[in-house]
Amino acid sequence: MAKADYYNLLGVSRDASEQELKRAYKKLAMKYHPDRNQGDKNAEKKFKEVSEAYEVLSDQNKRQAYDQFGHEGLDQRFGQGGGFQGGSFNDIFGDVFGDIFGGGSRSQTRARRGSDLEYRIEVSLEDAIKGKEIKISVPRRVSCKSCNGTGAKNGTALKTCDHCNGQGQVRVSQGFFSVQQTCPVCKGKGSVIEESCPDCSGSGFIQETKKLAVKIPAGVDNGDQIRLSGEGEGGPNNGVPGDLYVSVSVKPHKFFQRDGDDILCEVPISFTSATLGDKIILPTLEGKVELTVPAGTQSGRAFRIKNKGVKSVRSSYKGDLYCKVNIETPVNLTKEQKELLNKLDESFSKSKSKHRPNEKSWLDGIKEFFDK
């Protein structure tokens, strides 16, 4: 019976890359694996077929022969003769599934980069806008200097792990096949500590608190981060340290709110100032400014004052200050003041459309609504 085409078995094109072949085989091998299909002879047969296809197509020489001469070319040149070679299957499976079952190279014995750290700080709005240098103390793990990060007592050497013979991997039989797993004794390092370093108890790390000066750039906002290279945790096996990210949080301000590059504020003004017009003094983050309130100003009106906002770290221009005026209703009036206001209201009532146009148009709209 003619064998199925290897490319069709894996479901890939004839120009598939090595990674595409590996992905396709992983998917099919997991689907048809005998441990997942107990007693299913068809699944077992399919598993052997896709494994044979991957063994051939993942080998450059075999793939070239197969592309030129098909199955007969393999039988003649490599002695395939009916199925993949038994001794090579574990190597194939370990290569493809090593990352799933803990296989792979002894990467843990190499120096690796340390973890990044995050430190949160809270600053005032003024400091966020103008910039400031602050002092912080950061607790972190660093490589132990006594053992140079190895975990072994100074003057002693690491011993090759007897359980895995220094490979960092062990083969474990799982039914029909065997897989590579991380050595449980040396945890994949390939070596063990005979005598632990007294300073770090064999971990290779010690805890320290480092004081740093952090320059907060002018214009930072909530959520912005400042990166300090190499100020994170030390790396395993004396690897390079990670980075420290200082996250900025801005405290609420008593008068101002930030909206991007703009500053917002609210100012209460008197009924008289809004009616007759006035000049009021406004605070800004750079000092005081004078604002002219025109006669007849309504409550809630916002005035824009150019270039009194923020120049953020991401922009080349300053925002504006928006001042919203709220007309304050007089309280705790005397009898005389009440009489004066009543007389004033009576004079307004004689010509509502002139003195209170919004009230007049609103009342007219309500009357029209109910008439309908």
pLDDT band of 226, cuts 50, 70, 90: very high
Residues 4-31 have a mean pLDDT of: 88
Q: pLDDT per residue over 242-274, tens digit each?
A: 999 999 999 999 999 999 999 999 999 998 999
* Contact yes or no for 134/249 (Cβ under 8 A): no
Q: Are residues 50 and 163 in the same domain?
A: no
pLDDT of residue 85: 42
Residue 180 in this model has a pLDDT that exceeds 80: no
Q: Are residues 139 and 216 in the same domain?
A: yes
What DSSP line would sit under 85-138, residue for residue? -HHHHHHHHHHHHHHHHT-S--GGGS--PPPPEEEEEEE-HHHHHH-EEEEEEE
Q: Are residues 205 and 267 in the same domain?
A: no
* Contact yes or no for 149/158 (Cβ under 8 A): no
Considering only residues 191 and 353, tell me which one the structure prediction assigns the higher pLDDT: 191
Q: Are residues 262 and 241 in the same domain?
A: no
Assess if residue 308 is contained within a domain.
Answer: yes
Q: Please give the Cα distance from 78 to 81 (Å, whole number).
A: 9
The fraction of the chain above a pLDDT of 90, given in percent, is: 37
Assess if residue 24 is contained within a domain.
Answer: yes
Q: In terms of residue numbers, what domain contains 357? A: 339-372
In the chain, count of helices (H) and strands (E)?
Answer: 10, 15
Q: pLDDT per residue over 311-366, tens digit each?
A: 988 888 899 999 999 999 989 999 999 999 899 888 877 775 677 767 667 677 77
Ramachandran bin of 99, using left for φ above 0, alpha for ψ from -120 to 50, beta for the remaining angles: alpha
Assess if residue 205 is contained within a domain.
Answer: yes
pLDDT of residue 267: 93
Residues 11-34 have a mean pLDDT of: 87
Assess if residue 1 is contained within a domain.
Answer: no
Q: Are residues 245 and 260 in the same domain?
A: no
Domain of residue 73, CATH code: 1.10.287.110
Assess if residue 184 is contained within a domain.
Answer: yes
pLDDT band of 89, cuts 50, 70, 90: very low
Q: Are residues 264 and 247 in the same domain?
A: no
Q: Are residues 132 and 218 in the same domain?
A: yes
Assess if residue 147 is contained within a domain.
Answer: yes
Residues 184-212 have a mean pLDDT of: 87
Q: pLDDT per residue over 28-82, tens digit each?
A: 888 888 767 777 888 888 888 888 889 889 888 888 888 887 877 666 555 554 4
| H helix runs in 140-180, sequence order | none
pLDDT of residue 238: 77
Query: How many domains are there within the chain?
Result: 5
Residue 90 in this model has a pLDDT that exceeds 50: no
Q: Are residues 282 and 363 in the same domain?
A: no
Q: Please give the Cα distance from 166 to 160 (Å, whole number).
A: 5
pLDDT of residue 178: 67
Assess if residue 106 is contained within a domain.
Answer: no
Q: Tell me, what DSSP letter sits at residue 233?
A: P
Q: Are residues 162 and 142 in the same domain?
A: no
Q: Tell me, what DSSP letter sits at residue 201?
A: T
Q: Are residues 235 and 291 in the same domain?
A: no
Among the candidates 143, 166, 193, a domain finishes at 193
Q: Are residues 130 and 164 in the same domain?
A: no
Domain of residue 312, CATH code: 2.60.260.20
Of the candidates 229, 230, 224, which has an alpha carbon nearest to the alpha carbon of residue 247? 224
Q: Are residues 181 and 294 in the same domain?
A: no
